[in-house]
Amino acid sequence: MVFLPINIKKCHWYLAVVCGQLEEVHVLDSLGLMFSGRTELKIVLKGLERQIKCALEHDRNLDRGKWKNLDVSTWSIIEKIQEPMQKDGISCGLWMVNFMEYWTGSSLSDEVTQDDINNFRFKLPAILWDSTSNIRNVHRELKQPSAGGDSPSDVEIIDITTDVPKPSTRIFMNREELLHRVSTYIWSIDNQEWLDKEWVLSTTPYPISISLRTIRDILDKSKPMDSGCFNMAVRTVACNEARFIIEEDKWCFMDLKFCDIAQIGRDTRCRDEINYEELAGLFECWTPCYYIKNCSTVLLPYHRDRLYILFIIDMRKKIVYIMDPLAPKLKYTGTDRCSPYLTTLHDIAYHFNHAMKLANATWNIDISEWHPEVPTWTPKNYSWKVSGFLVYSYLKEWDGNRLFVHPGGGSLRTECLVDILQSNQNERANIIPEEL
């Protein structure tokens, strides 16, 4: 068995046990099934699989007798703990260490309770100090007692308070509680100096700066999506390298920069000269993982007059899906549903084709000849002020065939806000209050 400690950043620890002979991965989580998906575990398993195969390439003599199948990422992930064992919000790491000690491969060799874990918290420092791996302890020179014997002065009586603080009984927040807490906290701020403070800064591939005031506007139902906030939210999704490790189909996420540089929607008589080298660079501007030639889908958002639309360019099916949150209000039916969008689509296609030829030398396709489709199952929306949040949700949730139908505008706004604040691209994350 291989024990893998798994960490959900700034949130939770649990144990994954890789069982080579069974070709299974056992999950021991003190909170039971509270966390679904196990995305971080799948990333680790992908990495483990690559390292194993790399080691075999360099040393053909490695014994493969116990592990017949090296495709670790394809093994079954089995949840071994169905109900929460942890009763507080801070001891998940201690539970994980105990699971390592007591897991036999099929069950725990000892019955562990929250009281045992609370006691273990105070034993652990002594265990670490006394460990033979602790070089500070091994090489410490011990003072020899004097030959004169003991003296009453050698003994010191220490008062130990019985009022020892107990671990918090707070079960840490689920997603809904987190969204509510963030929303309540931000609305409570009325200090003008704080509102003008920069809470979000991302400089790569181009600078985005967002103040707390603009962030708070995300929660204001009377205001539409800010373009800077939209671009930052897309950057958060696009720079999530886990997508490129886990998902077989690669998506190319674009933000509003493409349509801004290409001046989509502007009268052709008023356009400046377009730099197609700069436009082509947007296809691979996020991380080294991005190669446009490997992508099966391009998700390209467009906005005008603060209305947002998402064009999904499916390379395999040769279809351009037009995802307009206001489309259900249109009176057009059948193939005529595409009519209001054709001018914009042909404008995008023209500049897209020119940029793609520079980014991918093998590109010789004209997407304007592909079949355009406005899906009839797009979730209905009756407020143009939510269109930007819905388009971001479309971009984030698209799986190649359908969309997750989001419950409502308020939740959309808070989800977007949390995504931006939690982004690993935010260089100002250190100024966000610790309670968030």
Does residue 121 sit in the same domain as residue 180?
no
CA-to-CA distance for 197 and 193, rounded, in angstroms? Answer: 6
Calculate mean pLDDT across residues 349-372.
94
Average pLDDT value over all residues in the chain: 84
Does residue 81 sit in the same domain as residue 219?
no
| Residues ≥6 apart with Cβ < 8 Å to 51 | none
Q: Which long-range contacts (CB under 8 A, 24 or more apart) does 86-89 make?
A: 86/30, 86/31, 86/114, 86/117, 87/114, 87/169, 87/171, 88/114, 88/167, 88/168, 88/169, 88/170, 88/171, 89/168, 89/169, 89/170, 89/171, 89/172
Domain containing 230: what range? 176-431
Extract the runs of DSSP E, i.e. beta strands, from 121-225: 198-202, 208-211
Give the pLDDT score at 245.
Answer: 54
Tell me if 160 is assigned to some domain: no
Does residue 288 sit in the same domain as residue 353?
yes
Q: Which residue from 240, 286, 235, 281 is spatially nearest to 256, judged by alpha carbons?
A: 235
CA-to-CA distance for 418 and 7, rounded, in angstroms? Answer: 20
Does residue 197 sit in the same domain as residue 321?
yes
Last residue of a domain, one of 102, 130, 158: 130
In this structure, what token pair is assigned to residue 125?
A: 């420092």
Does residue 93 sit in the same domain as residue 213?
no
Tell me if 169 is assigned to some domain: no
- CATH number, domain of 407, equals 3.40.395.10
Last residue of a domain, one of 114, 130, 146: 130
Q: Which DSSP symbol is given to 266?
A: S
Share of the chain above pLDDT 70, in %: 81
Tell me if 148 is assigned to some domain: no
CA-to-CA distance for 138 and 116, rounded, in angstroms? Answer: 29
Min mean pLDDT across 229-233, 318-322, 398-402, 415-419 is at 398-402
* Torsion of Cα atoms, 323 then 328 then 332 then 334, to 10°: 70
Q: Give Rg (Cα) of the chain.
A: 28
Does residue 120 sit in the same domain as residue 189?
no
Give the pLDDT score at 405.
Answer: 56
Does residue 80 sit in the same domain as residue 182?
no
Quick check: 19 pLDDT over 70?
yes
Give the pLDDT score at 173.
Answer: 54
- Between 416 and 137, the higher pLDDT residue: 416
pTM here is 0.65
Give the pLDDT score at 406.
Answer: 57
Per-residue confidence at 164, pLDDT binned at 50, 70, 90?
very low
Last residue of a domain, one of 98, 114, 130: 130
Tell me if 88 is assigned to some domain: yes
Q: What do you get for the CA distance between the two ends of the chain, in Å?
A: 37
Calculate mean pLDDT across residues 130-143.
68
Highest-pLDDT range among 167-181, 336-350, 394-408: 336-350
- Encode pLDDT of 270-283 as tens digits: 999 999 999 999 99
- Encode pLDDT of 58-115 as tens digits: 777 777 777 888 899 899 999 999 888 998 878 999 999 999 999 998 889 888 999 9
Share of the chain residues as helix, strand and coil, in percent rounded to the nearest 5? 40, 15, 45
- Encode pLDDT of 369-381 as tens digits: 999 999 877 766 6
Does residue 327 sit in the same domain as residue 195?
yes
Are β-strands 371-373 and 319-323 bridged in parallel, bridged antiparallel, or unpaired? Answer: parallel
Q: Which long-range contacts (CB under 8 A, 24 or more apart) does 172-175 make?
A: 172/11, 172/12, 172/89, 174/34
Tell me if 315 is assigned to some domain: yes
Does residue 237 sit in the same domain as residue 115?
no
CA-to-CA distance for 37 and 246, rounded, in angstroms? Answer: 12
Tell me if 45 is assigned to some domain: yes
Does residue 216 sit in the same domain as residue 88?
no
Tell me if 142 is assigned to some domain: no
Does residue 124 sit in the same domain as residue 183?
no
Contact 73, 45 (CB under 8 A): yes
Q: Which residue from 413, 19, 93, 30 is spatially nearest to 229, judged by alpha carbons?
A: 413
Per-residue confidence at 50, pLDDT binned at 50, 70, 90?
confident
* Residue type present at position 307: L
Tell me if 141 is assigned to some domain: no
Number of compact structural domains in the chain: 2
Does residue 206 sit in the same domain as residue 336?
yes
Quick check: 150 pLDDT over 60?
no
